[in-house]
């Protein structure tokens, strides 16, 4: 089944009891048993819910995994993956991470004796130098947030093959339409489904997908034991969002490319971070592992200060100033004070995340209007 058919059909059947073409929202906490232990596969809704089951089958198909396990948020999904580790284990992670990911690693799991190292692993020799016998996981985000660096997933997986190290890819920025890490050798994929999968900025949701039966069983155990499950209405919204994933992402990518070109030629813009440019250091890898170059664009201003950035951030009309990404509407953000506020300034500056850096999540509006909007906002600087 091709991707555009999977989003609509994979794992989705008309409701067996009524024929309803749309998956019903099973708003129930428990299920009646005919006799003790005699049930239809559903006992209690923390453990199983039919709306969630359909979504999990669909998501497993989109990432070419054997199982997908849904959570109440992307960070809840990540929490369960990190709980596969034991005290004393070490994790090597991309140094330009989603702020919440950095926070859960350092402030939550750091307390339980798990050691995290953050490095620019787009150069695999940098990663190699950090591997010790205690290294148990490589955590990859690509494209990275907000600098849009590209990590070669296949190269990372090849380097750690046979060493007992799991490779986990946070695929939120690419979405399964653009990139499928399990096909490139990764063991685990995590998504904040809040972003492109949901796509309409109306739900918080997360998922873990794997092609390894043992990992799937462990994550399912954690899903039930810890209990950070999504409600059925949220699962329905993600299922609904996914039906247009390929069309939305394709348009966002087309718009992002035009916007990146516009920004690059603008006199008030000093630098544009966009993997679609042939001058981008990760361009060749992006071409190899992604279908298109994504809907995210970051840029810095010639006037290298926060005050100027603030003028642009408050000056747009179609780009709304908000955290998050991946919705149909365009967003503009200030990573230094918003998504990456929890990362120390010295750490931020090391990767180029300055006080004047602006991040765009390009939506699917008419691109001419979006460019005009940025044009008038940049004129305020």
Ligand X SMILES: *Cc1c(COP(=O)(O)O)cnc(C)c1O
Catalytic residues: 46, 98, 170, 195
Q: Which is nearer to ligand X, 68 or 381 (CB)?
A: 68
Residue 247 interacts with ligand X (CB under 6 A): yes or no? no
Is residue 330 within 8 Å of 370, Cβ to Cβ? Answer: yes
Q: Which is nearer to ligand X, 114 or 208 (CB)?
A: 208
Given 23, 49, 51, 172, the residue binding ligand X (CB under 6 A): 172
Q: Kindly indicate which of the ranges 16-24, 55-63, 127-135, 168-176 contains the residues binding ligand X, using the contact rule CB under 6 A.
A: 168-176
Residue 194 interacts with ligand X (CB under 6 A): yes or no? yes
Residue 96 interacts with ligand X (CB under 6 A): yes or no? no
Residue 100 interacts with ligand X (CB under 6 A): yes or no? yes
E strands along 218-355, which residues?
Answer: 269-273, 296-301, 320-321, 331-333
Size of the site for ligand X (CB under 6 A): 16
Given 54, 75, 182, 215, the residue binding ligand X (CB under 6 A): 75
Interatomic CA distance for residues 295 and 293, integer angstroms: 7
Residue 192 interacts with ligand X (CB under 6 A): yes or no? yes
Question: CA nearest 291: which of 23, 40, 59, 2?
Answer: 2
Residue 294 interacts with ligand X (CB under 6 A): yes or no? no
Whole-number minimum distance, CB 74 to ligand X, in Å?
2
The residue assigned the tokens 């979006």 is: 370
Given 52, 136, 159, 195, the residue binding ligand X (CB under 6 A): 195
Is residue 51 within 8 Å of 230, Cβ to Cβ? Answer: no
Residue 199 CA, distance from chain mean position: 12
What character string, x for contact with ligand X (CB under 6 A) and - otherwise, covers 200-219? ----x-x-------------
Residue 72 is encoded by which pair of tokens? 């109440």
Residue 145 interacts with ligand X (CB under 6 A): yes or no? yes
Q: Which is nearer to ligand X, 234 or 300 (CB)?
A: 234
Given 80, 101, 255, 308, the residue binding ligand X (CB under 6 A): 101
Q: Kindly indicate which of the ranges 190-198, 329-337, 350-358, 366-374 contains the residues binding ligand X, using the contact rule CB under 6 A.
A: 190-198
Whole-number minimum distance, CB 190 to ligand X, in Å?
7
Q: Which is nearer to ligand X, 84 or 93 (CB)?
A: 93
Find the residue with minimal CB distance to ligand X. 74
Residue 251 is encoded by which pair of tokens? 């348009």
Q: Which is nearer to ligand X, 92 or 190 (CB)?
A: 190
**Which chain residues interact with ligand X by CB under 6 A?**
73-75, 98, 100-101, 141, 145, 170, 172-173, 192, 194-195, 204, 206
């Amino acid at each position: 089944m091709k991707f555009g058919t999977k989003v609509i059909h994979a794992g989705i059947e008309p409701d067996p009891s009524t024929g309803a073409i749309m998956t019903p929202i099973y708003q129930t906490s428990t299920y009646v048993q005919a006799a003790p232990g005699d049930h239809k596969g559903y006992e209690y809704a923390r453990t199983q819910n039919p709306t969630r089951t359909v979504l999990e089958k669909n998501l497993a198909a989109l990432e070419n995994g054997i199982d997908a396990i849904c959570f109440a948020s992307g960070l809840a999904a990540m929490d369960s993956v990190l709980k596969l580790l034991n005290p004393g284990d070490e994790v090597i992670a991309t140094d330009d991470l989603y702020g919440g990911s950095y926070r859960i690693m350092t402030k939550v799991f750091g307390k339980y004796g798990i050691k995290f190292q953050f490095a620019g692993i787009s150069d695999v020799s940098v990663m190699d130098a950090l591997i010790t016998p205690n290294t148990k996981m490589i955590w990859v985000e690509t494209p990275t947030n907000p600098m849009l660096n590209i990590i070669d997933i296949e190269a990372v997986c090849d380097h750690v093959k046979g060493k007992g190290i799991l490779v986990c890819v946070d695929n939120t920025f690419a979405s399964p339409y653009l990139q499928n890490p399990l096909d490139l050798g990764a063991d685990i994929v995590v998504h904040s489904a809040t972003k492109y999968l949901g796509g309409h900025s109306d739900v918080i949701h997360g998922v873990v997908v794997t092609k390894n039966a043992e990992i799937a069983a462990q994550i399912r155990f954690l899903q039930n034991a810890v209990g950070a499950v999504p409600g059925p209405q949220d699962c329905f919204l993600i299922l609904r969002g996914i039906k247009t994933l390929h069309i939305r992402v394709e348009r966002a990518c087309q718009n992002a490319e035009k916007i990146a070109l516009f920004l690059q030629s603008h006199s008030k813009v000093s630098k544009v971070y966009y993997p679609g440019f042939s001058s981008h250091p990760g361009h060749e890898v992006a071409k190899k592992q992604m279908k298109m170059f994504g809907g995210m664009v970051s840029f810095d201003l010639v006037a290298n200060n926060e005050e100027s950035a603030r003028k642009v951030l408050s000056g747009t009309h179609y780009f709304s100033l908000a955290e998050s990404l991946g919705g149909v509407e365009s967003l503009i953000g200030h990573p230094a004070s918003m998504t990456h506020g929890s990362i120390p300034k010295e750490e931020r500056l090391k990767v180029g995340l300055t006080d004047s850096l602006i991040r765009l999540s390009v939506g699917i509006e008419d691109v001419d209007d979006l460019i005009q909007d940025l044009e008038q906002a940049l004129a305020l600087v």
